[in-house]
Amino acid sequence: MLNGEVDHYNLFVSAHEAQLKSLALAETKWKTLFTKLRDSVIDAGNDFMFSEGEESEEGTESSLNSDLKVFTKCAMDPEDEDHIYLIDHAWTYTLESAKSVLSENLSLIQRMAAIMNITFEGRPQEEVINDIQKEMWKYNNSYILQNTSRDQTSTVSPFTRCWFIMDEFGSKIRRSEDPSFSVVPFFYVGENMMYSLLFPTTSVNEGAEVTCAYPRYRSNLEDNMKKALKFPWEPFDLSSIDYTQSEPDLDYFMSGRGIEILPEDIHELPNLVEKQEIKLYTEYPEVAEHLTNPQFVVTDSKDEAHVLWLAERLYNYKELADTKGELFYVSQFPSEQILINKELMSIACRRAGTELSFCDQALVEFNPKWLPTTYSLMIELPQFISYFQNREKRNLDNTWICKPFNMARGMDIYICDNINQIIRLSEVRPMVACKYLTDPVLFPKDNVGLVKMDFRFIVLLKSIQDFELFVYERFWLRFANKPFSLGDFEDYEKHFTVMNYGDFQLEQMYCHDFIKKFEDHYPEYKWCEIEESIYKMIKEVFIASAMKESPAGIGTFPGSRAMYGLDIMLQWDRSHDKPKMSPVLIEVNWMPDCKRACDYYPEFYDDVFSVLFLNKVKGKHVVQL
């Protein structure tokens, strides 16, 4: 390399070193990669070839294409300098936009149909698009782009999940249990361009088939999990697997999770009721702005604060107590992830169920009724596929909503009825699959029609040991912007109600206005009775979460006081002569966004702090459960 080239190469390494090392790419190949990226060299055709497909009985072109495989033209080694290749991406998109992008681009439809061996000629365009959306999960890969321009007050999602289909060459590389090559996405800073890199992971001879790994696949997995992970490419009947769920052992609740270190019984908890001045440390500006009770004085010091109202989790209680020389009050409970993690929440809530019930088609439906059937796609994937296939055999609805374990605000959540899509959604981050509510109670939205709605109830947990639990009487409403119907699952404004974190029209309504309009539309149903069933459900949720000791259940700390936001929907139970409205728990949020609460009811934080810290309940708009 000349001096100028060396300088450019060093800049390349500086910008990409962490990425290169994370891909386990041998350093001997870095210079070749740099040259190919700089000069946009796509030269895989020089060193690879397609095999000849075996003709089917029809001998059609599509059947020939479907049998094509990729082979090497020469020997290659993981440590050599030369054998690193760029693969272009034929189509990059987000799931929300996929259908509309295809609908507006005939050449893209034709190209995707050719890559996926889908017949195009003589068929309605909508039908071809539907086939592409089904088949693309055999070809899809994804990466996450961070939205670096986003600030703390932004309503934009902190990331974008991008999906892509590789070009005609890359899409013919088959998956294998014993892969010979690695195929990984790589972001080239020089062009702000994403490629896929292809390089050997083992020594291969001339004429060797090029294969890459199944996502998440490991040789030490159980056979059923291997079959489940290979399912999009090698479908298998797993319906004989027992799909009933059992609770994991204690190690699972501890694995990969922060466990709180609690202080010994040598410190006392101050009595706040007797204090004229209660020092409060808070990381929420709206708390300092709206908490008007003069008994609370905001401080910038955690060490001198009596109350810590935190935005981040505290794990080392002991260290802080030892530093302070006394116990403290904090806005969280040990092991409360049992409720705020969507996977663990479903495990804990299943404890509230009685016996399993059976529906008309002899398929198990899980109790409690207020918990949608939920599977962890990390550890229960074979059971989920079995359940899905058993529902399919009985012609039952198979629409599911897939959610990350630990994200809120509707981020990275997908609704679908495609088993391959559900399996592949879990590759980037741990997710659960929850049965989608196909018969929700709808609300008449002016000039729109009947739309989905959900409720945000604020719940205050004062003690888990003595079980002091309160619900704020005032709840918040969220509405979809389009009339509800099954289908068009990519249409956010039809299927989702969280509109305050994106560029959507937001409808706001006081709860008392809602109740009047609700009862006008459903005159045979009284809100007070529905509310009673919601309160009953909330109590059962927290009882279930306390049935086991930490970390399998909510733990105890004398100064723990917490506020949670429970998202709840209503669904129709049509198993009675008169259909019944039944509450359904969607998720539990720790330290929920209460900006709207403060806008509607400026006394909100005065009420909350009076209940949690001053033992004042009367006139504070709460109901003890």
**Which residues make Cβ contacts (< 8 Å) with residue 272, sequence separation at least 6?**
278, 306, 307, 329, 613, 614
In the numeric block, which tokens belong to residue 119?
Answer: 């017949």
Residue 326 DSSP class: S
The pLDDT tens digits of the residues spanning 508-525 come to 789 999 999 999 999 999
pLDDT (0 to 100) of residue 337: 93
What's the pLDDT at 273? 86
Query: Which residue shows structure tokens 């300088």?
Result: 7
Confidence of residue 374 (pLDDT cuts 50, 70, 90): very high
DSSP symbols for 506-545: -----HHHHHHHHHHHSTT--HHHHHHHHHHHHHHHHHHH
Residue 65 has pLDDT above 70, yes or no: no
Q: In the prediction, which pLDDT does 391 show? A: 94
Question: Degrees (nearest 5) of the Cα angle 257, 258, 264?
Answer: 140
User: Is 587's pLDDT higher than 70?
Assistant: yes
Mean pLDDT value of segment 575-588 = 92
Average pLDDT over residues 79-104: 94
Q: Output the six-digit token pair for 485.
A: 């119907």
DSSP 394-442: TT----EEEEETT--TTTT-EEE--HHHHHHHTTTS-EEEEE--SSB--
Residue given tokens 């195929």 in the structure block: 183
Whole-number Å distance between alpha carbons of 433 and 376: 7
Weakest-pLDDT range from 354-358, 402-406, 527-531? 354-358
531 or 499, greater pLDDT: 531
How many CA atoms are closer than 13 Å to the CA of 277, on its beta-carbon side?
A: 6
From the list 220, 214, 138, the residue with the least C-alpha distance to 182 is: 214
d(CA 376, CA 419): 14
- Count how many residues are written for the chain: 625
Question: What is the value of pTM for the model shown?
Answer: 0.90
Look at the alpha carbons of 32, 34, 36, 38 in this order and tell me if their dihedral is positive or negative: negative
Q: Give the Cα separation of 567 and 437 in Å (integer).
A: 14
pLDDT of residue 464: 92
pLDDT at 259: 86
Whose tokens are 């439809």? That residue is 109
Confidence tier at 53 by pLDDT (50, 70, 90): very low
Q: Verify cis geometry, omega within 30 degrees of 0, for the bond prior to 551.
A: yes
Q: Is the pLDDT of residue 127 over 90?
A: yes
How far apart, in whole angstroms, are the C-alpha atoms of residue 412 and residue 157? 9
Tell me the β-bridge partners of 435.
Answer: 400
Examine the pLDDT at 207 and tell me if it is beyond 90: yes
Q: What is the pLDDT of residues 8-24, one digit of tens each?
A: 899 999 999 999 999 98
Is the Cβ–Cβ distance between 9 and 34 less than 8 Å?
Answer: yes
List the structure tokens of 607.
């009420």
Q: Which of 45-49, 324-328, 378-382, 557-561 has the lowest mean pLDDT?
A: 324-328
Is the pLDDT assigned to residue 157 strictly greater than 70? no
Per-residue pLDDT tens over the stretch 298-334: 999 988 999 999 988 889 999 998 888 889 999 999 9
Candidates 37, 205, 209; CA nearest to 29 is 37
> Is the per-residue pLDDT at 187 higher than 80?
yes
H helix or E strand, kind and range, residue 318: helix 317-324
Q: How confident is the model at residue 358 (pLDDT cuts 50, 70, 90)?
A: very low
What pLDDT score was predicted for residue 56?
38
Q: Which of 141-155, 210-224, 247-261 has the lowest mean pLDDT?
A: 141-155
> Which residue would you say has higher pLDDT here, 2 or 6?
6
- The pLDDT, as a whole number, for residue 161 is 86
pLDDT digits (tens, 9 = 90+) for 428-458: 789 999 999 999 999 999 989 999 999 999 9
pLDDT at 63 > cutoff 50: no
CA pair distance 523, 107, nearest whole angstrom: 53
Tell me the mean pLDDT in the region 500-505: 58
Position 473 pLDDT exceeds 70: yes
Q: Where does residue 463 fall: left (phi above 0), alpha (psi -120 to 50 degrees), or beta otherwise?
A: beta
Q: Is the peptide bond before 579 cis (omega within 30 degrees of 0)?
A: no
Q: Does pLDDT of 502 surpass 70?
A: no
The pLDDT tens digits for 22-40 are 998 999 999 999 999 999 9
Closest C-alpha to 95, from 446, 465, 412, 457:
412
Q: What is the pLDDT of residue 422?
A: 96
Whole-angstrom distance, CA of residue 560 vs CA of residue 462: 7
Q: 498 pLDDT band (50/70/90 cuts)?
A: confident
Average predicted confidence (pLDDT) for the chain = 89
